[in-house]
């Protein structure tokens, strides 16, 4: 069975990886395999810190459970070690209002059986002594994790190469679709046919697939400096320790596809990080990265399964977290004919009319 995947972000590559591992012949068509949100992502696996609820939370927790095996498979095939840990994220309350919000959420999560620990000022600084005295407190979400998204993308690219996936650089400009069948896909260089098509086109889905997906620009800083033990997430900033460096994120701007960083964004990120962890004032700024989250009007992803195609887009702030199940949904559909209920829960039909 020949499968054509359009898009080489984490969702496209994870799908290519799982299908190729299952013995399928896979081609990925991408405009630029270094483009896209995944290369810029903070890599926090943080649905509780993000305050998700309902079906999005359920979907996220299912992804979190699959993450260790997903990373192991990619490491094994690529022979690349990916920094990944699942030792919890500290959700901070930088003022009373934020503390009140996270305390209430923690009660709800706790009633759901999730492992959350509310920390008052003193307890917080026992865990992270570098946190400012002004921070009110925090909640430790034990189940959350942290992955180096850039390393994961490197490993996926090498991994799919090792599995014989062909990567073609071309810009897809048209999907020739008849009802629920895709006939072919037209690029600037060539026309592509396949037995099954997957569209994982992230922020670029609107013109190609006529879906209400729009880019939300994020600027993120890469710095070298004193590292907290855990991700410190607050409304002021998120400070994300990796191996040997830190990421400080992230702005959220509706600015179309403007790839430039700006001093306003960078300044806000630095102020937010130093407010939470004053010692970061001494850190060295290594890089400013800019990416585009594929957002939807209701903050939910868009999944569609047609006769011979699947669409996986609109992952907005959680593409890294939601990649394992996104890929698995296509694998289950093709291998077992099992249609995940997430295709119905997050169907594009919700935008019709
Ligand atoms: N997941 C964090 C962000 O999108 O900034």
What CATH number has the domain bearing residue 16? 3.50.50.60
Nearest CA to ligand 1 atom 1: 317
Q: Among the atoms of ligand 1, which is closest to the Cα of residue 250?
A: 5
What order do you get walking across the sheet with 166-169 strand by strand? Answer: 166-169, 25-30, 2-6, 196-199, 309-313, 302-305
- pTM of the entire structure? 0.97
Average pLDDT estimate for 117-124: 94
For 304-337, write each residue's pLDDT tens digit.
999 999 999 999 999 999 999 999 999 999 999 9
Of 295, 316, 333, the residue that ends a domain is 295
Distance 167 CA to ligand 1 centre (A): 28
Number of domains in the chain: 2
Nearest CA to ligand 1 atom 2: 317
CB environment 288-325: b (16+ within 10 A), e (fewer): bbbbbbbbbeeebbbbbbbeebbbbbbbbbbbbbbbbb
Determine the pLDDT at residue 111.
Answer: 98
Q: Among the atoms of ligand 1, which is closest to the Cα of residue 318?
A: 1
CATH code, domain with 241: 3.30.9.10
Nearest CA to ligand 1 atom 3: 317
170 and 275 fall within a common domain: no
- Which among 209, 186, 180, 204 has a CA at the least distance from the CA of 292? 204
Using CB distances shorter than 6 Å, the residues near ligand 1 are: 42, 44, 218, 249-250, 293, 317
Distance 154 CA to ligand 1 centre (A): 20
Could you tell me the residue range of the domain that residue 238 belongs to? 89-142+214-295
For 220-264, write each residue's pLDDT tens digit.
999 999 999 999 999 999 999 999 999 999 999 999 999 999 999
Instruction: Kindly tell me the burial class for residue 73, based on how many C-beta atoms sit within 10 Å of its own C-beta (0-12, 13-18, 19 or more).
Output: middle
Distance 177 CA to ligand 1 centre (A): 33
At 191, which helix (H) or strand (E)?
Answer: strand 191-192
218 and 202 fall within a common domain: no
């Amino acid at each position: 069975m020949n499968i054509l995947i359009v898009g080489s972000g984490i969702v496209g590559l994870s799908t290519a990886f799982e299908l190729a591992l299952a013995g399928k012949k896979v081609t990925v068509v991408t405009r630029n395999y270094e483009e896209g949100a995944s290369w810029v992502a903070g890599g926090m696996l943080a649905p509780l810190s993000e305050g998700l609820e309902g079906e999005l939370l359920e979907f996220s927790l299912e992804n979190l459970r699959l993450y260790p095996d997903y990373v192991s498979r990619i490491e094994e095939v690529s022979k690349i070690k990916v920094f990944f840990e699942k030792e919890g994220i500290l959700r901070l309350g930088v003022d009373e209002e934020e503390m009140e919000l996270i305390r209430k959420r923690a009660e709800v999560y706790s009633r759901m059986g999730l492992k959350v620990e509310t920390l008052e000022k003193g307890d917080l600084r026992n865990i992270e002594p570098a946190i400012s005295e002004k921070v009110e407190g925090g909640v430790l979400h034990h189940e959350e994790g942290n992955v180096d998204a850039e390393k994961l993308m490197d490993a996926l690219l090498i991994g799919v190469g090792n599995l014989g996936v062909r990567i073609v650089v071309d810009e897809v400009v048209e999907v020739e679709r008849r009802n629920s069948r895709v006939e072919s896909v037209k690029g600037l260089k060539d026309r592509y046919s396949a037995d099954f098509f997957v569209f994982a086109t992230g922020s670029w889905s609107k013109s190609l697939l006529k879906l209400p997906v729009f880019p939300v620009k994020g600027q993120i800083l890469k710095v070298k400096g004193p590292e907290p033990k855990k991700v410190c997430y607050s409304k002021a900033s998120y400070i994300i320790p990796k191996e040997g460096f830190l990421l400080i994120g992230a702005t959220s701007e509706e600015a179309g596809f403007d790839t430039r960083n700006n001093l306003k964004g960078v300044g806000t990120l630095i102020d937010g990080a130093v407010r939470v962890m004053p010692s970061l004032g001494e850190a060295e700024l290594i890089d400013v990265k800019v990416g585009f989250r594929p957002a939807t009007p209701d903050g939910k992803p868009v999944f569609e399964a047609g006769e011979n195609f699947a669409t996986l887009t609109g992952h907005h702030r959680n593409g890294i977290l939601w990649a394992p199940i996104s890929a698995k949904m296509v694998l289950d559909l093709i291998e077992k004919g099992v249609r995940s209920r997430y295709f119905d829960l997050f169907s594009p039909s919700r935008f019709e009319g």
